[in-house]
Structure 1
Amino acid sequence: MQQIDWAEFIGRARTSAVHLEMRDAYGVAGEAAEFAAWKETGAIDLDPDSESWRDWSTIVRDATARGVQVRRARIVSEPVTAYTRWLHQSTVVNESVGERVRWLPRARASDIALPGNDFWVLDDALVQFHHFTGDGDWAQEGTFEHRTEPAVVRLCADAFEQVWERAVPHEDYKIS
């Protein structure tokens, strides 16, 4: 499996780093214990400087200090999955370190041309696609794929912006 060096990847961004997530649940090993604990106890780590958040918090803080806008949009089915409920509760950490997050109900995304995989776009120049198994874990081969062709970059950048414009800011997105 290819490992993503998030600090190096986000470190490439000079003006923007945008991320579109389209799955209702992920099964990546790095989150499994925390998600299972939340399902059992309802407890969730909201400390951006804790061991589980520190690496990501540092990456986002460093990027925003350089003037990079870090935005994440999530397309979700409603009613939401338990995973999405957990993600929603933990998103306050993302926002506390400078990442802006919005949520788009899947029913409002039907007429947006979306790529087949989650992705990041850096500076409207580089796309990083993420490949997952059906269970939501990282795929063994090609965990990520970098693309720079202008048509691919434009497809992803446009899809993100269309989702972003329709999506609800995190603080306003209510899960019942």
Structure 2
Amino acid sequence: MGDMTQLQHLSEGIIDLDEFEDLFRTFDHSAWRLESRRRFASDEATDTYSQFVETGTVDWDREDPYCELIRSQTTQGKRVERVRIVDQPPTTGQLYLLNNAKRNSGLGEDIRNLWRADAERLRLPAEDFWLFDSRLVAKLRFDDEDHLMDVELITESAEIARYSAIRKVAWHHALPFEEFAVMLSDSE
């Protein structure tokens, strides 16, 4: 079964994190994310987060399974992109992710940033989701402590059109992470 067929056979509902990870193996041409959270509990539990808090930088492992997966997809010509919403001033978690963008960009991912005030002015939703191949949304669901619980799949045409419109607006107004990082360091 080809990648496109695999995504078409997915139906709406809640999936677990293993099934969510499989979406990154089976998408056909694009995986796009809107990331609006101020923090992720999973990041804060890592050694790299502790290293970042202590030193302001991280020695990123570029050979971990996520890196290998994203690199394998982007070398096939598939697009992996995201827009991160950032507070002013950024939270520690957002600064950590800005540092991580250096690694992810080296894998072929295109990461851009948008100030939260601009996102609110543009009426972007305060939700985290991935849009795969412009036909499947994976809406990430978090608990009150910022732990990712599960993922809601959305395949309904009107909702896909709404999320695609969100992508278009966010992408148009967001800055590439390198440009954003320079702007941020100039303001400190």
TM-score by length of 2: 0.81
Q: Is the 8 A contact 1:37 1:43 kept in 2?
A: yes
Q: Distance in 1 between matches of 2:20 and 2:144?
A: 23
Q: Is the 8 A contact 2:43 2:49 kept in 1?
A: no
Q: Distance in 2 between matches of 1:172 and 1:25?
A: 22
Partner of 2:27: 13
Q: Percent identity?
A: 27
Deviation for aligned residue 1:43: 4.2
Give unmatched runs, 5+ long, in structure 1: none
Q: Distance in 2 between matches of 1:64 and 1:120?
A: 16
Partner of 1:162: 169
Partner of 1:150: 157
Are the structure 2 counterparts of residues 33 and 96 from structure 1 closer, same or farther at C-alpha, using a change threshold of 3 Å? Answer: same
Greater mean deviation of Cα atoms: 13-22 or 40-49:
40-49
Are the structure 2 counterparts of residues 130 and 98 from structure 1 closer, same or farther at C-alpha, using a change threshold of 3 Å? Answer: same
| More helix by percentage | 2
**1:68 equivalent among 56, 78, 84:** 78
Count of residue pairs brought into register by the alignment: 169
Give unmatched runs, 5+ long, in structure 2: 1-14
Deviation for aligned residue 1:98: 0.4
Partner of 1:78: 88
Q: Distance in 1 between matches of 2:101 and 2:126?
A: 24
Matched, 1:96 2:106: yes
Partner of 1:172: 179
Are the structure 2 counterparts of residues 31 and 9 from structure 1 closer, same or farther at C-alpha, using a change threshold of 3 Å? Answer: farther
TM-score by length of 1: 0.86
Are the structure 2 counterparts of residues 85 and 144 from structure 1 closer, same or farther at C-alpha, using a change threshold of 3 Å? Answer: same
For the residue of structure 2 that corresponds to 1:127, the secondary structure is strand
In the TM superposition, what are the counterparts of 1:115-126 in structure 2 within 5 Å?
115-126=125-136
Q: Distance in 2 between matches of 1:29 and 1:93?
A: 15
Q: Is the 8 A contact 1:14 1:67 kept in 2?
A: no
- In angstroms, what is the RMSD of aligned CA positions? 2.0
| 4+ residue segments displaced more than 6 Å | none
- Superimposed CA distance per residue, residues 86-117 of structure 1 (whole angstroms, 9 cap, x where no aligned partner): 11112111000100000000111124343452
Greater mean deviation of Cα atoms: 6-15 or 63-72:
6-15
Partner of 1:127: 137
Q: Distance in 2 between matches of 1:119 and 1:6?
A: 11
For the residue of structure 1 that corresponds to 2:38, the secondary structure is coil
Q: Distance in 1 between matches of 2:62 and 2:43?
A: 20
Q: Distance in 2 between matches of 1:131 and 1:84?
A: 19
